[in-house]
């Protein structure tokens, strides 16, 4: 089954919600780079997380989540990136 941008976003977000309580204390305010329902790394900004994703994943399919209890619209960074769409 081919991984799609929408399925990556959805599956990563569901996994993120499960992990949130366990990562909040140590990573609150950081941005989690996610791939395959796992947190790959944490970054100080959404831009840093996106650049790390683009560098590490040739297919550009990943997502970025802010580690916070408050829902935040990350705009451009809320979406996984398909090849050729990274900013």
The domain ranges of the chain are 5-78
CB atoms within 10 A of CB 23: 15
The more confident residue out of 77 and 33 is 33
Report pLDDT for 74: 56
Indicate yes or no: pTM above 0.75: yes
Strand order in the sheet with 31-35: 38-43, 31-35, 63-66
Give the pLDDT mean for 6-34: 93
Report pLDDT for 5: 75
Reported as a single tens digit per residue, the pLDDT across 36-80 is: 999 999 999 999 999 999 999 988 899 999 999 876 555 555 554
């Amino acid at each position: 089954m081919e991984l799609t941008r929408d399925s990556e976003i959805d599956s990563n977000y569901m996994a993120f919600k499960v992990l949130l309580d366990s990562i909040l204390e140590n990573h609150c305010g950081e941005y989690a780079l996610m791939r395959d329902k796992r947190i790959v790394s944490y970054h100080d900004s959404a831009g840093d997380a996106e650049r790390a994703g683009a560098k590490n994943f040739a297919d550009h399919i990943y997502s970025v989540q802010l580690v916070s209890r408050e829902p935040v619209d990350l705009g451009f960074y809320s979406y996984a990136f398909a090849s050729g769409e990274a900013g």
